[in-house]
């Protein structure tokens, strides 16, 4: 019989509340996983550990998913739901070692059903934060038990799942300060900081060398612009994890801010920290509030990312913040259960938006009407006429975005209107002259118009810019030109190799 405060109750609650996620499908960047040779090839697990591959343990889990179940979303979502349930179990089991058992249980139950896990659970590509949190909790568990060197190993695993857990050593150092400093913590903490520096440097190197990394050196956002928005982003995260958990979306509307507005946001963060500092000693609620900020800082400070805010960044900080909520002296067991029930209802409702691509992006458009990307993504799963309307609206918001013109051209091609597509590809290339994909797509439009010589020149031009541009190489093969799938060190998936005639 399950004890009244057994960690298995949060585990089962997470399974129950998030079971609806199993009805979902692939979204957004999920589709990139299905064409990545490191995931689709039988021997691809080796590529998961190549130097330029970030988050190798997460990629290895995707490789296992694909080898066992192929391109079926349910298998991936089962793993995500089980990881969240395991994290809920671990949170209850870990925290009861340092705080009262009833507080640890209440915190784990809140965590299990909280809608802040909607994106990490339902968005397969976001699995990295689920794994990083799993290993971070195992590191905390070991540390709280006095096994500090095993905690270092678990932290290394967490960093190899997702680098956003890099603040864990700071959290553990703060833990030691709150409880009374122990000199035995010095060397393991130093080792953790060493691991953080080495793996962090590797990740930064990857963002500089891998095209489209979207963060660090690969971000189009300046550190100052990114930092200016993060005060308000942190306040938004805290608000959604506590008093208003209704605005979760895959693409929140956030941007760089002017100096005064940015300063006000950071002033609000500082005010909360100062207030929390009054309840810092002996692991009171203030310690956990400040701990949640530490977990947010790697993604919400100076290191820029293309997205100013992302809901999945709340997941690891929520580990600390739910403890702060459960530690409120006036939060009675009845009130805690009522709050848990409210969060569970919101989560079940919110999961409905993740069941299809269309409902997900309709939600994103509704919550970010002044942002172009949700409209473009919704256009991709809409009828051609509706897609053109959405893309026209998006171009009014971002007239200099070449991807919108390319997307409109793709719609025209699907409508068998290559002459209109050609004009849009021309507009896209005027904005981004060296976009190999747009050049290859223009070649496809020219081929549909019977202008084969011009099309061939575009395909060759695209390959000079990007020798691994598959569409250009494949279309040249269709034109009767010899292509070499193994040339230039390109990494093709099994379907691409088959189309190129490679026997591997």
With respect to residue 74, please indicate whether it lies within any of the assigned structural domains: yes
Q: Is the pLDDT of residue 504 over 50?
A: no
Domain co-membership, 325 together with 438: no
User: Is-contact 286 279, C-beta < 8 A?
Assistant: yes
User: Is-contact 76 82, C-beta < 8 A?
Assistant: no
Domain co-membership, 408 together with 382: yes
- The CB density around residue 149, as the number of other CB atoms within 10 Å, is 11
For residue 141, the model assigns a pLDDT of 98
For residue 218, the model assigns a pLDDT of 59
pLDDT in tens, 407-418: 999 999 999 999
For residue 487, the model assigns a pLDDT of 56
Mean pLDDT, the chain, whole residue set? 91
pLDDT in tens, 337-358: 999 999 999 999 999 999 999 9
Domain co-membership, 335 together with 446: no
Residue range 1-12: average pLDDT? 80
Domain co-membership, 244 together with 155: yes
The CA distance from 207 to 201, in Å, is 10
Beta bridge mates, 215: 305
With respect to residue 245, please indicate whether it lies within any of the assigned structural domains: yes
User: Is-contact 303 342, C-beta < 8 A?
Assistant: no
Domain co-membership, 450 together with 397: yes
pLDDT in tens, 109-138: 999 999 999 999 999 999 999 999 999 999
- Percentage of the chain lying above the pLDDT 70 cut: 94
pLDDT in tens, 296-332: 999 998 788 888 999 999 999 999 999 999 999 888 8
- 108: three-class secondary structure by DSSP: helix
Domain co-membership, 38 together with 176: yes
Instruction: Please name the helix (run of DSSP H) or strand (run of DSSP E) that holds residue 186, with its range, or none.
Output: helix 186-209
Q: Is the pLDDT of residue 372 over 70?
A: yes
Domain co-membership, 156 together with 248: yes
With respect to residue 365, please indicate whether it lies within any of the assigned structural domains: no
Classify residue 237 as exposed, middle or buried by CB count within 10 Å of its CB (0-12, 13-18, 19+).
Answer: buried
CATH number at 387 reads 1.25.40.10
Domain co-membership, 155 together with 88: yes
pLDDT in tens, 451-503: 999 999 999 999 999 988 999 999 998 888 766 555 556 777 778 888 887 64
With respect to residue 2, please indicate whether it lies within any of the assigned structural domains: no
For residue 3, the model assigns a pLDDT of 53
Long-range contacts of 458-467 (CB under 8 A, 24+ apart): 462/436, 462/437, 463/436, 465/434, 465/436, 465/439, 466/436, 466/437
Q: Which range, of 201-215, 218-232, 274-288, averages the lowest pLDDT?
A: 201-215
For residue 306, the model assigns a pLDDT of 84
User: Is-contact 79 124, C-beta < 8 A?
Assistant: no
Q: Is the pLDDT of residue 2 over 50?
A: no
Domain co-membership, 344 together with 428: no
User: Is-contact 392 282, C-beta < 8 A?
Assistant: no
Domain co-membership, 451 together with 471: yes
The CA distance from 394 to 391, in Å, is 5
Domain containing 54: what range? 8-358
Q: Is the pLDDT of residue 139 over 60?
A: yes
Indicate the pLDDT class of residue 221, thresholds 50, 70 and 90: confident
Q: Is the pLDDT of residue 263 over 50?
A: yes
Q: Is the pLDDT of residue 219 over 70?
A: no
For residue 216, the model assigns a pLDDT of 55
Q: Is the pLDDT of residue 406 over 80?
A: yes
Placement of tokens 């994909």 in the chain? 437
Residue range 5-25: average pLDDT? 96
pLDDT in tens, 25-55: 999 999 999 989 999 999 999 999 988 788 9
Residue 332 structure tokens: 């009675």
For residue 203, the model assigns a pLDDT of 79
Placement of tokens 């079971």 in the chain? 19
Range among 221-225, 231-235, 476-480 with highest mean pLDDT value: 231-235
With respect to residue 422, please indicate whether it lies within any of the assigned structural domains: yes
With respect to residue 1, please indicate whether it lies within any of the assigned structural domains: no
With respect to residue 258, please indicate whether it lies within any of the assigned structural domains: yes
What's the distance, Cα to Cα, between the start and end of the chain in Å?
Answer: 54
In the listed set 302, 328, 358, which residue is the last one of a domain according to the structure?
358
pLDDT in tens, 375-403: 999 999 999 999 999 999 999 999 999 99
In the listed set 358, 379, 408, which residue is the last one of a domain according to the structure?
358
Domain co-membership, 316 together with 402: no
DSSP string over 4-41: TT-THHHHHHHHHHHGGGGG----TTHHHHTT-HHHHS
With respect to residue 364, please indicate whether it lies within any of the assigned structural domains: no
In the listed set 358, 387, 418, which residue is the last one of a domain according to the structure?
358
Tally of structural domains, the chain: 2
For residue 503, the model assigns a pLDDT of 43
Domain co-membership, 278 together with 332: yes
- Percentage of the chain lying above the pLDDT 90 cut: 79
């Amino acid at each position: 019989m399950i004890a009244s405060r057994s960690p298995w109750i949060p585990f089962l609650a997470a399974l129950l509340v998030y079971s609806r996620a199993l009805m979902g499908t692939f979204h957004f960047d999920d589709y990139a996983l299905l064409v990545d040779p490191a995931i689709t090839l039988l021997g691809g697990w080796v590529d998961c550990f190549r130097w330029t591959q970030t988050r190798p343990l997460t990629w290895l889990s995707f490789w296992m998913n694909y080898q066992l179940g192929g391109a079926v979303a349910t298998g991936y979502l089962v793993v995500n739901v089980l990881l969240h349930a395991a994290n809920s179990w671990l949170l209850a089991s870990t925290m009861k070692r340092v705080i009262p058992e009833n507080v640890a249980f209440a915190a784990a139950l809140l965590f299990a059903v909280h809608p802040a896990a909607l994106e990490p659970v339902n968005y397969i590509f976001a699995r990295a934060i689920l794994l990083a949190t799993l290993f971070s909790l195992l590191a905390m568990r070991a540390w709280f038990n006095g096994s500090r060197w095993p905690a270092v190993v678990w932290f290394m695993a967490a960093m190899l799942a997702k680098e956003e857990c890099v603040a864990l050593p700071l959290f553990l150092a703060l833990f030691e300060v709150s409880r009374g400093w122990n000199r035995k913590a010095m060397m393991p903490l130093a080792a953790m900081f060493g691991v953080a520096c080495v793996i962090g440097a590797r990740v930064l190197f990857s963002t500089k060398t891998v095209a489209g990394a979207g963060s660090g050196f690969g971000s189009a956002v300046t550190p100052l612009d990114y930092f200016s928005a993060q005060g308000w982003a942190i306040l938004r995260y805290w608000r959604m994890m506590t008093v208003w958990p209704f605005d979760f979306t895959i693409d929140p509307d956030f941007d760089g801010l002017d100096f005064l507005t940015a300063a006000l946001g950071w002033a609000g963060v500082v005010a909360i920290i100062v207030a929390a500092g009054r309840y810092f000693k002996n692991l009171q609620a203030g310690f956990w509030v400040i701990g949640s900020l530490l977990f947010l800082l790697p993604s919400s400070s100076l290191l820029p990312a293309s997205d100013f805010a992302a809901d999945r960044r709340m997941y690891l900080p929520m580990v600390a913040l739910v403890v702060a909520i459960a530690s409120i002296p006036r939060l009675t067991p009845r009130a805690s259960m009522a709050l848990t029930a409210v969060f569970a209802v919101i989560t079940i409702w919110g999961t409905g938006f993740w069941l299809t691509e269309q409902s997900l992006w309709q939600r994103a458009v509704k919550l970010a009407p002044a942002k172009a990307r949700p409209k473009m993504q919704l256009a991709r799963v809409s009828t051609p006429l509706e897609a053109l309307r959405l893309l026209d609206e998006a171009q009014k918001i971002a007239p200099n975005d070449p991807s919108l013109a390319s997307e409109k051209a793709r719609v025209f091609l699907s409508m068998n209107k290559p002459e209109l597509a050609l004009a849009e590809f021309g507009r896209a290339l005027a904005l981004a002259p060296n976009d190999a994909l747009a050049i290859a797509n223009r070649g496809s439009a020219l081929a549909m118009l019977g202008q084969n010589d011009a099309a061939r020149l575009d395909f060759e031009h695209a390959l000079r810019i990007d020798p691994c541009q598959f569409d250009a190489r494949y279309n040249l093969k269709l034109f009767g030109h010899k292509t070499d799938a193994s040339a230039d060190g390109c990494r093709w998936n099994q379907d691409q190799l088959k189309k190129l005639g490679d026997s591997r």
